[in-house]
Structure 1
Amino acid sequence: METWLTDMDGVLVHEEVPIPGAVEFLDALKASGRQFLVLTNNSIFTPRDLRARLIGSGLDVPEGAIWTSALATAQFLADQRPEGRAYVVGEAGLTTALHDIGYVITDRDPDYVVLGETRTYSFEAITRAIRLIDDGARFLATNPDVSGPSLHGKLPATGSVAALISAATGRSPYYIGKPNPLMMRSALNRISGHAKSTVMVGDRMDTDIISGLEAGLRTALVTTGSTQPEQIETFPYRPTRVFGSVADLVPIARGEQPF
């Protein structure tokens, strides 16, 4: 395969602990000269922040090889309504991405309300978002994940807050991140990749694998994260191949074995 897309959590790291084989997998991709991107639905952090966090976990991923749902959302907005206005509920990863495409972040007559993940959701900000949507702002969200992990247990994520806003407004958001195949296509465009020669590596059938499939990519499920081997047959679609971990993908990334 000429181009690789890979999920981050559950594939390369788990709770900031590197998954065995992840270092060797990334080294193999870099040594082969193949283009690759690490994808994440997390919109909290900028690629620079994520690179620093990954280095802290022992994984050296170039800043330019990280593609977040915030960046994909910004790309969507740049294509749909260049230099527009948005009211943002989210963190620096999202606000920085929107500033970088020339968007004005404002609560005065915005074109969009853009919801991302944050650890400091405020009642005031959510109320303002609801009223702006009622007044005609279009509703976008970076990703539909309803919860995320933490050291102390489950955390509410973007999808949960989106459901609250939808219940209050009667309006559903357009989600940009996985499982929307738009996330994959924007990533491919980022590195000038082609679907037929790209593989998507993920740990979740209902996000990584389905979005890769719908974008026309080959897919590799690793069973070090959310979807366990016994659950695969419960889905009406299948990954191209199943692996125990990214360690099993190292010879393929090196070009020593075909996918």
Structure 2
Amino acid sequence: MDGVLVHEERAIPGAAEFLQRLVDRERRFLVLTNNSIFTPRDLAARLSASGLDVPEESIWTSALATAQFLNDQHPKGSAYVIGEAGLTTALHEAGYVMTDTNPDYVVLGETRTYSFEAITKAIRLVSSGARFIATNPDSTGPSPEGPLPATGSVAALITRATRREPYYVGKPNPMMFRSAMNRIEAHSETTAMVGDRMDTDIVAGIEAGLSTWLVLTGSTKQEEIKRFPFQPKHVVDSVADLVELV
């Protein structure tokens, strides 16, 4: 989503036309994001405000992927959660109980108000045996004022204190892509991943067996591509270049 369709809540030129072409050609699609703060309904409203029409059922977040993973691993479990509505709603809908008393999991997601008290509680619970899950490994997130510490940075703090590494469910974990593909009944042979980050979108697309398209409207610059040991199948300036290819 970010860097491909929108940048700081403004639609990237060509994004609306690209989405409309997908609809006109009856191509199944999902908009993926590692942002676990918002529910799909919230994100659909934010995209709409940017001029992009994406129904909430066409949005797949790291929070939803995390809830599905936990439900598959340990149905009707319990979790101590650091995060916002996108994550807590997804876990509630999966049948999870939120608790700080002997939870099965500590689940770390994105929030703009990380609390030292909450992080301390998470450290103690993980040290006591709760399994450590994080929605995504992104170390920073964007803001108009500059980078903000994100899930990966806070997870590193908890890991340093507990010596326990989290399991990251969101990109670049191919599991997020596979669960998304199952949601729209897609197959890797006929599915493409369009992303702006080599270290999350493209590598996960490659590992999931998808055709990969890197757009240069987000995090990755042209001169940075060759530094990676893996390469995208295609590189284009933006989604505007993909409209005629749909």
Match of 1:72 among 52, 65, 71: 65
DSSP-derived class of the 2:165 partner = coil
User: What is the count of residue pairs matched by the alignment?
Assistant: 246
Higher relative contact order (CA 8 A, sep 6+): 1
**Segments of 4+ in structure 1 off by > 2 A?**
none
* Residue 159 of structure 1 pairs with residue 152 of structure 2: yes
Residue identity in the other structure for 1:109: N
Deviations 1:112-166 (A, max 9, x none): 0000000111111111111111110000000000001101111000001000100
Match of 1:15 among 8, 13, 38: 8
Residue identity in the other structure for 2:232: P
Deviates more, 1:228-237 or 1:77-86: 228-237
The aligned residue for residue 226 of structure 1 is 219
> Equivalent residues in 2 for 1:240-251 (5 A)?
240-251=233-244
The aligned residue for residue 126 of structure 1 is 119
- Partners of 2:122 and 2:152 lie apart in 1 by 15
> Equivalent residues in 2 for 1:141-156 (5 A)?
141-156=134-149
TM-superposed CA distance for 1:181, in Å, is: 0.8
* Residue 171 of structure 1 pairs with residue 164 of structure 2: yes
DSSP-derived class of the 1:36 partner = coil
Residue identity in the other structure for 2:224: Q
DSSP-derived class of the 2:194 partner = strand
Which runs of 5 or more structure 1 residues have no equivalent in the other structure?
Answer: 1-7, 254-259
TM-superposed CA distance for 1:233, in Å, is: 1.2
> Equivalent residues in 2 for 1:21-170 (5 A)?
21-170=14-163
What is the TM-score when the length of structure 2 is the normalising length? Answer: 0.99
Deviations 1:165-192 (A, max 9, x none): 0011010100011111111111111111
- Partners of 1:39 and 1:86 lie apart in 2 by 24
TM-superposed CA distance for 1:230, in Å, is: 1.4
Deviations 1:214-256 (A, max 9, x none): 0111100011111111111111111111111000100112xxx
Deviates more, 1:140-149 or 1:222-231: 222-231
Match of 1:189 among 164, 182, 203: 182
Which runs of 5 or more structure 2 residues have no equivalent in the other structure?
Answer: none
Deviations 1:73-127 (A, max 9, x none): 0010111111100110000000000000100011111100000000111111111
- Partners of 2:189 and 2:72 lie apart in 1 by 24
Residue identity in the other structure for 1:42: N
- Partners of 1:45 and 1:177 lie apart in 2 by 15
- Partners of 1:134 and 1:118 lie apart in 2 by 22
Residue identity in the other structure for 1:61: V
What is the TM-score when the length of structure 1 is the normalising length? Answer: 0.94
Deviations 1:32-85 (A, max 9, x none): 111100000000000000000000111010100000000000010111111100
- Partners of 2:98 and 2:26 lie apart in 1 by 38
